[in-house]
Amino acid sequence: MNPSRKITLRDIAKVAGVSHVTVSLALRNHPSIPEKTRNRVKKIAKEMEYQPDAMLAALNAYRRRNNEVHFHAVLAWIHSFSDRNAMHGVSGPSLYYKGAHERALELGYGLEEFWTLEPGMTSKRLGEVLKSRRIQGILLPPVQRVQTSKVRPTIDLPWEWFSVVAFGFSHQQNFHIVANTQYRTARNMVRKLHSLGYKRIGFFSWMDIIARTDMNFSAGYWAECNWLRLRPMMLQNIRPEDASDDYDAAFISWIRKAKPDAVIGFDGRIASLLKNNGIQVPQDIAVAVLDRDPNHPEIAGMDQNPIQMGRVAVDQLVGLIQRNERGIPEFPLSTYVESIWRDGPSVPGKR
């Protein structure tokens, strides 16, 4: 064989004693090819120093994108919210779903919801339903906040059957994930408030949220305060099981004692809580949120681009399916989407 000539699939097929189609499928880990054959073909390809043609691969991808898209498969959206429709009332997950649904249709996939708390539904039953439907890909939105910080719901499925992408850090298993750049989001939030003239910037959060976000937000807040030489003021020791009137009282007591001129939280409820206790927003204190709800433009904060996160998650999942990468990965990958600051009357800026 001419050493200057590029090795082709047919060259490998001749040495392996199989067709060039089998070689192509084996190199893409297609399940129709026995594992033993796949490994043998890969070994031969490596010994022959085979390199895929990047230009040809790009051309094929271009052709696929420009061909008419036909519906050919279903992706599963599996959630464990307390109510079947509760997820669609939560800004983040509902917008993840919107973006994922849009992108799935563009790529020729359907997106179907499965509720793990469906009466009579078990993990075994759900796995059988997914397999019988020939569903290969699963998207997992964040788990809903639970009543105790010591218990986190899990979904026990035969993961080796499926390609999986999860949103955020709330699942116990180490799946590939798509998440907001939470650490940078908190840092950018503090930097923005500081640039608007605020010097006493407080940070409030449930311990549950701190744990579910891998401490990224609180770490980013602390880091930027230190970088800007601001004194960190944090209230994050309230646990979900303590949710009661004491929670409201503890928050208001902290505000009156610490006297921040701006406070960072996770949702706009703290603005209402402040107003109900005679603390005016923004006259007495500015309020900004780390996950801004587009339905409440009066509250300034960070837009985490949840629709884009849903689209990115589908792109990642389809790639896993096409490469036949199944199960919980040995080396899970994380893909991050940046936030954007959105102005609002709750943060007018100081002179």
Domain boundaries, the chain: 9-66, 73-180+307-338, 182-303
Angle, CA 116 vertex, CA 310 and CA 74 arms, to 5°:
50
The model's pLDDT over 301-320, given as tens digits with 9 standing for 90+, comes to 999 999 999 999 999 999 99
Q: Which of 170, 180, 163 is nearest to 315 (CA)?
A: 163
Ordered mean pLDDT values, 10 residues apiece, the chain (351 residues): 71 88 81 82 89 67 54 83 77 90 91 87 86 92 60 70 92 90 96 96 84 88 96 72 62 91 88 91 94 90 95 95 90 94 91 59
d(CA 299, CA 309): 22
Superfamily of domain 9-66: lambda repressor-like DNA-binding domains (1.10.260.40)
Q: Any idea what DSSP says for residue 47? A: H
Residues 6+ apart with CB under 8 A from 176: 164, 165, 166, 316, 320, 329, 332, 333, 334, 335
d(CA 310, CA 104): 10
- Answer whether 9-66 and 73-180+307-338 agree in fold: no
The model's pLDDT over 112-126, given as tens digits with 9 standing for 90+, comes to 999 888 888 888 888
Beta bridge partners, 75, equal: 111, 137
Asked if 292 and 264 touch (Cβ cutoff 8 Å), the reply is no
Asked if 48 and 14 touch (Cβ cutoff 8 Å), the reply is no
Residues 6+ apart with CB under 8 A from 273: 248, 251, 252
- Specify the pLDDT at position 21: 82
d(CA 254, CA 204): 10
What predicted TM-score, i.e. pTM, was given to this entire model? 0.76
- Specify the pLDDT at position 65: 54
The model's pLDDT over 128-171, given as tens digits with 9 standing for 90+, comes to 889 888 899 999 998 865 444 444 456 788 888 999 999 998 88
- Specify the pLDDT at position 69: 47
**CATH of region 182-303:** 3.40.50.2300
Q: Any idea what DSSP says for residue 299? A: S
- Candidate CATH numbers 3.40.80.10, 3.30.360.10, 3.40.50.2000, 3.40.50.2300; the one for domain 73-180+307-338: 3.40.50.2300
